[in-house]
Structures are given as structure tokens and as C-alpha cells.
Amino acid sequence: MHQVAGTPAPSVNTGFALEKVPSGIEGLDGITAGGLPKGRPTLVVGKAGSGKTLFAMQFLVSGATRYNEPGVFVSFEETAEDLIKNVHSLGFDLPRLLEEEKIAIDYVRIEKSEIEETGEYDLDGLFIRLAYAIDSIGAKRVALDTIEVLFSGLSNEGIIRAELRRLFSWLKEKGVTAVITGESGRGDSLTRHGLEEYVSDAVILLDHRVTNQISTRRLRIVKYRGSTHGTNEYPFLITGNEGLVIMPITALGLEHEAPKERVSTGIERLDAMLGGKGYYRGSSVLVSGTPGTGKTSLAVTFADAICRRGERCLYFAFEESSSQIVRNMRSIGIDLVPLIDAGLLAIHSSRPTAYGLETHLAAMLREVQVFRPDAVVVDPISNLISVSTEVDSKAMLIRFVDYLKINQITGIFTDLTTQGGHLEQTNIGISSLMDTWILLKFIESGGERNRGLYVLKSRGMAHSNQIREVIITDQGIDLADVYLGPGGVLTGSARYVMEMEEEAEIRAREDELRARRIEAEREQRVLEARIAALQAEHQGVQTEFDRFARELERKKEARSEERGHLARMRKADTAAGNTRREEGGKDE
């Protein structure tokens, strides 16, 4: 859920709280804690071209179309036809609202040259005319544009002050919620007559300032009786389809939730350097480096990874057009077109000098609110210094970073550092705001310049302190280990030579191992053959022994049978014979 930041807490309604009506101007109700005071006049002051008439008309149109509150617009400068044409480009369909009697426009022509002060002057005629218009459509809202014209023909300050008081009192008695526009006064005076701001219940100042040929629109609530309200200056935009849009953003403090979820950087080895899982979701990441070190490529790789996971990424480019980014990223194997077509990636390109800082901030916040991304890339933030001071740029970025963090949007900010300068320092001085800081630099060795990457810091995780060489090819970005040689860190071709030498050494050792294995296998076979021969020899001896034993046994049996046969032939007593044989045997 995206949160509107920098708004006062809503007041507790105890039954006596001031009633308010929504203004219909996006962002204003947030900083006024509910809208404009109901049944009371609000003075909107500013110089010519600051947006006063648009403010008043948008207040009435919103009331008529969104809150069922008809309104009367009394113009002292522009005719109804001119007003209809002027606001048509903003999407306000005044002819339809006039036909439906939800809006009434009354042009009161006042020509100073035709006015002659001949007696007392009062606004009774205006009151009658205005009362009729209010009653004819049941108006709840009234706009008077601009009040200075009403008194332009008068020089009597006493009468002007008296009638101003009567006008504001009359509007309160009618119970209508009124917006009265007025021109800024000279010097320290907020208004032309110096009285309007005192008789108004609320005063809103619109400012359209131009500094160094760059314009910025800002709004400030100067006064709001009976209500809390934001007191800062808030940038606002005048958009083509929404009219006046206020960005109530300010520094938010440190109360945002810190997610534990991690998101991949899109580079496996960089994830490994960041504890194996990448950045924390909702964290702020600074990628700084000198020109050509690959800051944009690193940021786009992250954006590509985010989108390929089905999440959305918003890319603010201050140096290249979207077409140029798409073309350039194709050279490193990243095709952004399918992601853009799928609505996962949006690239907004603009020159920093196109607007003031506040307008940039307001426009960027507006895009974030509309697109609702999971990640935002700003490339590069260092260009913002060209339209303002370092202090203002830092303040603007603090507000933007706070807004992203409170909405848990991961932010990638690239920063261009100057060659020869202190690399571990940003031009805007926002490194302390960043949770992760990745430094890219050229490493010169062996007559070459190669890209190196460091993780200078990454809060909340164990991260690598090693240097990695950034290798950008047509297949994307990869990180390689660097070698520490006699002359320092080896990168590029020196690293390649070292890798080849290591690979050759490994191959030689593998060859030696293979030869030793073959020799060992041969010796094993010889040994096995010897064992087999010995076993065969042993088997021969054993066989001979067995044959001899069997032959001896057979001889014994044959001799016994022969003696038995002789005994039977001699008819001798077998036992005696045997005895004699035994005795004879003994004699023998």
C-alpha cells in the first residue's frame, strides 16, 4: 500500500471539531487534515500564473462531480466562454455541468476607467447577484476570482477594508464554502490590501518561482483556523488530465518498517558478495563510479531481473532517452522491449534542466504513485546538481528515498564521480542515506583499464570485502576474481594470462596423474600375473604330492591283497597266519 507522506495526523472529532469539505485537489486534503473549512471562506493568493483560477475551478468542479455540491464561479476577469476554453484541456466539461445546473458561472465586468467614485461604495449589488446564483442551483460552494479586480476602481482604503470584511462575513452567513483568489502583495505583505489574510479562515499561498531559468510550483498553508495542517512548502503540478496535483512529501524520519526479504541483483556473483541473497527489499542502493564503469548496465541488469520475476520497475533516466537505453542494453544481451510491452518496466527520460528540483520530485512521486513499482532506478542523481545546489539536491533525494522506503520500494541510485576525485565520496553527499554502496572503478595495470567492483557497505548483512572484476559482454554482466600479482591486482589480459597459466598447470598435473595411474595399473597387472604363476606352481606341487600319496596308498592296498591271496592258497589259518606274519614281520 503506497502511503501519502508528510501529512498531519487527522484531528479527533469530539463533536466540536471544525467541519471540512474535501477539496477534490489531490494531496491537499492530506496536508489540511480533511479539506477546506466547511461554510467558511478560504483565501488563495499568488502571483500571476501561479494557478489560482485553476485551484478555484477545480474546487468547484470536484464538488459538483464527486460530492454532489453545486458551485457558483464569479469571475471578475474572464468571461464564461474563456473559462470554458481555458479549462477544457484539463478535462473539465463545464458546458455539461452548466447544462445540468451543477455549476453556474457569472462574469462580472469591472472596468476601472468606467468607475467614478461619487459616493459611498458597497457590495450590496454583488451580494444580490451572488445570492440569486447560489439559490438558483442550490450551491454549496462559491469561488470569487479575483478579489483585487472587484476593488480595482477604488482608492479609499477605508471603504475597501470595510467591504472586504462585509464580503467574508456575508459568505459565512450564507453557509457556503468559498474560495477567494487574490494577488500577492508587494514586499512582506501577503495580499494587495493586507487585510484579506486576516478575515479569512484559511489562507493558501501558491508560488511559481523561477530560478536560473527553471520554474518550480509550490504550495504552503499559511493559516488554517481551528485545524492542524502541514506547514512545509509542498511542490505541486498542473497536469493535463488531473489539474492541480500536490505532492505532500517531506522528510519522514526513521519510522519505516525494515523488510527482511531479499531481492536478487540479477548477477549471481554479486548476490554472493551480498551474503548470497542480494539486496534487502525496500532498501536504498547507491552505485557510484567514473564514466564508463558500467553503472547504468548494473542498474538495468537489476531492473531486468526484477521484471523477469513478474515485479514492476520504474526507471528515471536523466542522461539517455528510453530508446537509447533500450538500444544500448541490447549490446549486453538485455532486451527491455518485452518488459516494456508487458507493462512491467516504464522508462521516463528527461533532462534535469527541464524542471526545478521540486517539480522533478513531484513528477517522480506522481509516476511512482500511478505505476506502483516494486523497484525504482534513478540514473544518475549527480545530474540533479545542475539545476540546484548540493544542499537542495540532497534534501530532495532524502524525501524521495524516505518515500520509497516507507512504501518498501527498492531504490537504485547511480552517481557519477569525477575521475581523479575521491571515489569514496558522492557529489551530493548522500552516501550515509544508502543502505548498500557499490563502487565501480577502473583498475589500470599492464597497460590496460579494466572495471573493478567493491561493496563499500551493506547494512544488515555480512558482505564481501573482495574486489571483483566486472566483465561486460554481449551475454550480460559477470564478475570475475582478480589476482594479486607482484605488481598488485591483476585484471584483464593479465588476469587472463594468470588463469591460462593456472589452467596449464592443472592440465600438466592431470597428465602426470594420468601417467602415474597407468603405471600403477601396469604394476598391479604384473603383480597379479606373478601371484597367478606362484599359485600355479604351488598347485603343481600340491598335485604331485597328492598323486604320490594316492600311489602309496594303492601300493599298500595291493600288498595287503597279495598276502591275503597267498594265505588262502596255503590254507593257513588266517589269524595264525596273520600272527605269524606279525611275528615274522617282527623277525624280519
Kindly tell me if the per-residue pLDDT of 38 is higher than 70.
yes
Q: What is the pLDDT of residue 6?
A: 46
Whole-angstrom Cα distance, residue 279 to residue 258?
12
Reported residue count of the chain is 588
Q: State pLDDT tens for residues 153-184.
A: 667 777 777 888 888 899 999 999 999 998 88
Listed in sequence order, the residues at least 6 apart from 72 whose beta carbon sits closer than 8 Å to its beta carbon are: 60, 103, 104, 105, 106, 130, 133, 134, 137, 139, 141, 142, 143
> For 500-554, what is each residue's pLDDT tens digit?
888 898 999 999 999 999 999 999 999 999 999 999 999 999 999 999 999 999 9
Measured CA distances, 61 to 19, 129, 143, 410 (Å) = 20, 21, 11, 38
pLDDT, the chain, mean? 84
Query: SS3 for 196-222, per residue?
Result: HHHHCCEEEEEEEEEECCEEEEEEEEE
How many angstroms separate the CA atoms of 304 and 301, rounded?
5
Instruction: Answer yes or no: is pLDDT of 1 > 50.
Output: no
Q: pLDDT at position 254, please?
A: 62
Q: How far apart are CA 504 and CA 112, in angstroms?
A: 97
Given a cut of 80, is residue 386 above it in pLDDT? no
The pLDDT score that the predictor gives to residue 467 is 86
Residue 317 φ/ψ, nearest 5 degrees: -110, 125
pLDDT mean over 108-114 = 69
Give per-residue pLDDT as tens, 203-248.
999 998 877 667 778 899 999 988 888 888 887 888 777 788 886 5
Residue 510 has φ and ψ, to the nearest 5°, of -65, -40
pLDDT per position as a tens digit, 253-265: 566 788 889 999 9
The 10s digit of each residue's pLDDT in 402-453 is 889 889 999 999 998 866 556 566 655 677 889 999 999 888 877 788 899 9
For residue range 459-474, what is the model confidence (pLDDT) as tens digits?
A: 999 999 888 889 999 9
Helix spans in 92-220 (H): 94-99, 124-137, 147-150, 157-174, 196-199
**Confidence check: pLDDT of 250 > 60:** no
| Coarse DSSP helix, strand, coil percentages of the chain, rounded to the nearest 5 percent | 40, 25, 35
The Cα–Cα gap between 570 and 298 comes to 123
Query: How far is it, in rounded angstroms, from Cα 450 to Cα 569?
Result: 119
Residue showing cell 526513521: 254
CA 396 – CA 105 distance, rounded (Å): 40
Taking the C-alpha atoms of residue 452 and residue 444, their distance in angstroms, rounded to an integer, is 10
First to last CA, the chain: 126
The mean-pLDDT minimum among 274-278, 298-302, 444-448 falls in 444-448
Burial of 176 (0-12, 13-18, 19+ CB in 10 A): buried
Instruction: Indicate if the alpha-carbon torsion angle 424, 425, 426, 431 is positive or negative.
Output: positive
Give the closest residue to 354 by CA, choosing from 315, 328, 316, 306.
Answer: 316
> pLDDT exceeding 70 applies to what percent of the chain?
86
375 with 315: CB under 8 angstroms? no
Listed in order, strand segments (DSSP E) in 225-291 are 233-239, 243-246, 262-263, 279-280, 284-289
Q: Could you tell me the pLDDT band of residue 3, with boundaries at 50, 70 and 90? A: very low
Spatial distance between the Cα atoms of 367 and 361, rounded to a whole number of angstroms: 10
What is the value of pTM for the model shown? 0.64
